Amino acid sequence: MTMADCLTLKKSNCKNCYKCIRHCPVKSIRFSGNQAYIIGNECILCGQCFVICPQNAKEIVDETEKVMILLQSGDPVIISLAPSFVANYDGVGIGAMRDAIKKLGFYDVEETAIGATMVKNEYDRMIRDGGHDVLISSCCHSINLLIQKYYPSALPYLADTLSPMQAHCADIKKRYPNAKTVFIGPCVAKKDEAQRYEGIVDAVLTFDELTQWLKDSGITLAKETDRDEQSLARFFPTTGGILKTMAKDHPDYTYLAVDGVENCMAMLKDIENGGIHHCFVEMSACVGSCIGGPVMEKYHRTPLKDYMTVSGFAGKEDFPVVQPDGEQMRKPFAVLPRSSMMPSEAEITDILRQMGKTKPSDELNCGSCGYNTCREKAVAIYQGKADPSMCLPYLKDKAESFSDTITKNNPNGLLVLNEKLEVQQINDAARKMLHIRYASDILGDQVVRVLDPILFLDVLQTGKNLHDHKVFLAEYDCYIEFTIIYDKEYRLLVCIMRDVTEEEASRAKKEIISRQTIETADKVVEKQMRIVQEIASLLGETAAETKIALTKLKESINDE
């Protein structure tokens, strides 16, 4: 398993919201094809992207199956249980946890606080022996990665000591030479620590994985708490918990605790700048320390209650341990380089120009993209981690510019109203139709000021859009063809107004011409009919006279 495998991404769930990059303290996330990807060589495994992802697209790798295989090996598998368990499992003590977990097939369950006791003893020894101007605790693997990757000049101040998880598991293997060790806690970084330093911890489970396993096996945790005065190191998972267990007896030393990656980064900058001396610094990546770990924060985030629970469970004396010598507690830390090329000033300027930022005043540094400044974003684009389209002001301006171009140059009038029938937008063509001098004269006001609202009310109430409805506006002496569309998603009424006055005048003119033509035709027909009738009458008289004359002629001939 590599670091990239500790946190995985469900691509189908990633909605390109950039929330993960906004909350990532070291910006170790890149975007490609509208998907987020964790950059392994930059990630410190603080788990914040897992905690805040609204779509649950980030997943912690599940090692349950790996542990099941260990159980089948025949060797005793022993659990090192993080002291924060008491905050995660309300009202359940170590005895009840041991009984339940052993039902899964484990040989035994011990508290990681045993290893924490060894670690705090080693810190006290290092301070007493001198030679350390500044000493930084190395219990938190995320802080170790932060220093190794981002503050290498502070690496000499990092205590080269095993973490409580490692110290305890090494002790277990010393006592049970053929044993396999499994750590259970609230941290994703411990999975990376276990595989990075092989041979000490064989697997790591989160509390969430353990809970699911117990549930699938039908095992219920008994609500039983136990008290043991020899358990001072149970304070370790709280902010300042390490300091609570230490002697703090060096007169020239200042002891302080810092939690949260951002606060730790600020402290590391002070240390790098030489502003800190004669100091022991307890650093925790999670706010609240381990009781604010990723799994705890996502599923069980009650800081005050959790602290009080841990405090009430902790004793006042140390666990009885056989303290390993200094060499057995050694842990090497090497610089972990990041392969990130830096752009030149000219390249940054060119990228800023691509985002529509041509002058310093355009660099709003709003942080909506996830980066603190526009220049940081430009560097990320150069490194292939970001895209210009991630800039919200740039997209907004681009969309508005495109929309404004269409709106302003549209010959039809455009009017946008909200559900209160208040004018939200109006274009120049609509202003001219309605004799409005400035858009500001009507924006925000009721549409009734300029138009009869009856059509808009009808569309709003019925939900049926209106198309090509012609109305004569007497006050404006014009005919307007209305199309009104109700956008239910955005709760807006979009009105398209087409001035058809000229068309109406042309149509009326055509009607007059047609009517006149018909009247003329009627008159012509009438006149023609009259002439026909007159001709017919004349023809009738002539025919009668001719008939009479011929008849007389016939009779005269017959008489002869």
Give kind and range of the element (H or E) at residue 273: none
Q: How far, in Å, CA of 484 to CA of 225, rounded?
A: 68
| Chain mean position to CA 134 | 39
Q: How far apart are CA 155 and CA 163, in angstroms?
A: 16
Continuous H helices in 277-391 = 294-299, 303-313, 345-354, 374-382
User: What pLDDT score does 106 carry?
Assistant: 98
Spatial CB neighbours of 229, under 8 Å, sequence gap ≥ 6: 315, 316, 317
Structural domain boundaries in the chain: 1-61, 62-313, 345-374+384-408, 410-499
- Report how far residue 39's alpha carbon sits from residue 33's, in angstroms, rounded to the nearest whole number: 15
How does 111-143 read in b/e, with b if 16+ C-beta sit within 10 Å?
A: bbbbbbbbbbbbbbebbeeeebebbbbbbbbbb
CATH topology of domain 1-61: Alpha-Beta Plaits (3.30.70)
Distance, C-alpha 529 to centroid of its chain: 87
**How does pLDDT run across 43-72, given as a tens digit for each residue?**
999 999 999 888 888 889 999 999 999 999
**φ, ψ at 148 (rounded to 5°):** -65, -35
Integer Cα distance of 271 and 155 in angstroms: 10
- Across-strand partners of 414? 496
Is pLDDT at 450 greater than 70 in this prediction?
yes
Q: Label each residue of 490-551 as H, E or C.
A: CCEEEEEEEECHHHHHHHHHHHHHHHHHHHHHHHHHHHHHHHHHHHHHHHHHHHHHHHHHHH
Q: What percentage of the chain has pLDDT greater than the value 70? A: 93
**How big is the CA angle at 514 (ends 510 and 518), to the nearest 5 degrees?**
170
Q: CB–CB of 476/501 below 8 Å? A: no
Residue 191 confidence class, pLDDT cut points 50, 70, 90 = very high
| CATH no. of 62-313 | 3.40.50
Q: State residue 339's pLDDT score.
A: 72
| Four-way CATH pick for 410-499: 3.30.450.20, 3.40.50.2000, 3.90.550.10, 3.30.310.50 | 3.30.450.20
Mean pLDDT computed over 433-449: 92
Confidence of residue 359 (pLDDT cuts 50, 70, 90): confident
DSSP 451-502: S-THHHHHHHHH---EEEEEEEETTTTEEEEEEEEEETTTTEEEEEEEE-HH
Q: Where is pLDDT greater, at 298 or 421?
A: 421
Q: Is the pLDDT of residue 235 over 70?
A: yes
Looking at residue 331, the DSSP 8-state letter turns out to be: -
Q: What DSSP line would sit under 400-457, residue for residue?
A: HHHHHHHHHT-SSEEEEEETT-BEEEE-HHHHHHTT-S-GGGTTTSBGGGTS-THHHH
**What's the CA angle centered on 43, arms 41 and 46, to 5 degrees?**
155
- Would you state the pLDDT for residue 402? 61
Give the C-alpha separation, 124 to 136, whole Å: 12
Q: What is the DSSP string of 99-143?
A: HHHHTTT-SEEEETHHHHHHHHHHHHHHHHH---SEEE----HHH
What tens digit of pLDDT does each residue of 300-317 get? 778 899 999 999 999 999
